[in-house]
Amino acid sequence: MSNFAQTFSSSLGKKLIMSLTGLFLCTFLIVHLVGNFQLFKDDNGQAFNSYAYLMTHFTPIKVVSYLLYTSIIVHALYALILTMGNRKARPVGYAVQAGNANSPWTSRNMGILGTILLIFIVIHMGDFWWKYHNAELPYAKYEISLDNPQDIKVSELPWDAKRLIHSDYVDTQAGKEIVVSKDLYKVVAKAFTTPWYVALYVLSMVALSFHLIHGFRSAFQTIGWDHKKYVPLIRFLGVWIFGVLIPLLFAAMPIFFLLKNY
């Protein structure tokens, strides 16, 4: 077996893979959050639907998406392998060297937190990603005034409007920009008016918070970027940005639609 293969088949190598895929997923969370923030725009979903189209049709983003799916699978698989190995040989868990009794709650329950998140990801992708690619969604037509971009007229098109594909063009004579896209916004808005689904989403964001509070710092420790000069910054980013702010902003979206419906 080559030195490269031996390195990544070792316990440290598995933790390194976990760390690298975890940090890549952290990067994705930022991009996904920025895109999902289009849901808050008061434009009947025009910005969010355009974002959804870009994420599924722009070739470089599609390539990154496949890397994302692979990272999720690899991260979950190696988490399972490490957990099983820890139970058999009782080595140091993940990356923080601490006894079970003295280790943080998040460190001792990363498996449970990760399982909750994996279940959520499967449900979440089934409800939105799969439907966008496979279900018969209506199309929305947006007519945006060139003189006043806030003046948007939206109308629903039938499913057979898929022959129009996605179009974005300017009608100079009418003084309007015309945008036609799948109406994923309507699917999201409807899902977030269901109390139990919103509760599941918020609970998953709580799990994400605890998972990131421990995992973010541990990832940097595993790859050796834990110099005392940078530890305060890493701890701040891990706790307040990834552990608190990002999950809180994600949770705000379903709560916003639920309250809007009542």
Could you report the per-residue pLDDT of 246-259, keeping only the tens digit for each? 999 999 999 999 99
Is the pLDDT score of 41 beyond 60? Answer: yes
Which residue from 125, 154, 173, 206 is spatially nearest to 45, judged by alpha carbons? 154
Structure token digits, residue 66: 């496949």
In this predicted model, what pLDDT tens digit does every residue of 61-104 receive, in sequence order?
989 999 999 999 999 999 888 888 777 766 444 444 444 555 67
3-137+183-261 — its CATH code? 1.20.1300
Q: What is the pTM of this model?
A: 0.86
In this predicted model, what pLDDT tens digit does every residue of 165-221 receive, in sequence order?
556 667 666 788 888 888 999 999 999 999 999 999 999 999 999 999 999 999 999
In sequence order, what E strands does the chain have?
A: 139-145, 152-157, 167-171, 176-182
Sign of the CA dihedral running 158, 186, 135, 30: positive
| Residue entry with tokens 């007519």 | 143
Beta bridge partners, 171, equal: 176
In this predicted model, what pLDDT tens digit does every residue of 99-152 receive, in sequence order?
455 567 777 788 889 999 999 999 999 999 999 998 888 888 888 888 888 788
Q: Give the domain ranges of the chain.
A: 3-137+183-261, 138-182
Residue 135 CA: distances (Å) to CA of 129, 184, 208: 10, 10, 28
